[in-house]
Amino acid sequence: MIAIKTGTKIALLAAVIAAATARYWFYLAAEVALPADRTGFVIVFLGAAALGVYALIKRTTWLGAIPAIFAIVVGAFLPFTVSISTQIVERDSVIKVGDAMPQFTSIDGHGQAFDSLSLTDHLVLIKFFRAHW
């Protein structure tokens, strides 16, 4: 029977908490359902990171350090993204309800030129987004 160090057990617990919470986070992100108030997430992630640090303090083997470091990285990174997620637009230049839609041209997914004049006389929904989730 191999004795598992306490530090390793704590590291594994921290990694499981970090992985399960991150999995749920990305599931909600894919569903466009991340809550506006993510305090609960931040607490759990930071808790997992703290457990990871605690595991390293309690001493573990080099193998046990892997889940500990995983928990620290995941647990610290997602709260960091929350802290920088606020957007700022220049109030003077941003388009407003009642404004005319600016005319624009671009390239579509087939590499074809697109001109917003082709939208004239149509009801249009425009979405600006920044990534594939």
Contact positions vs another protein (CB under 8 A): 29, 32, 34, 36, 38, 81-82, 84-90, 92-102, 104, 106-111, 114, 119-132
Q: Which is nearer to another protein, 3 or 102 (CB)?
A: 102
Please identify, using beta-carbon distances, which residue of 27 and 104 lies nearer to another protein.
104
**Which residue's CB is nearer to another protein, number 26 or number 61?**
26
Cα(125)–Cα(128) distance, integer angstroms: 10
> 74 and 48 in contact (C-beta within 8 Å)?
yes
Distance CA 69, CA 82 (A): 20
Give the nearest distance from C-beta 71 to another protein in angstroms. Answer: 22
CB of 45 closer than 8 Å to CB of 18: yes
Q: Work out how close the CB of 40 gets to another protein at its nearest, in angstroms, rounded to a whole number.
A: 14
Minimum Å gap between C-beta 116 and another protein is 9
Distance of closest approach, residue 102 Cβ to another protein, in angstroms = 4
Instruction: Choose between 1 and 111: whose C-beta lies nearer to another protein.
Output: 111
Burial class (CB in 10 A: 0-12, 13-18, 19+), 116: middle
Distance between CA atoms of residues 133 and 130, nearest Å: 8
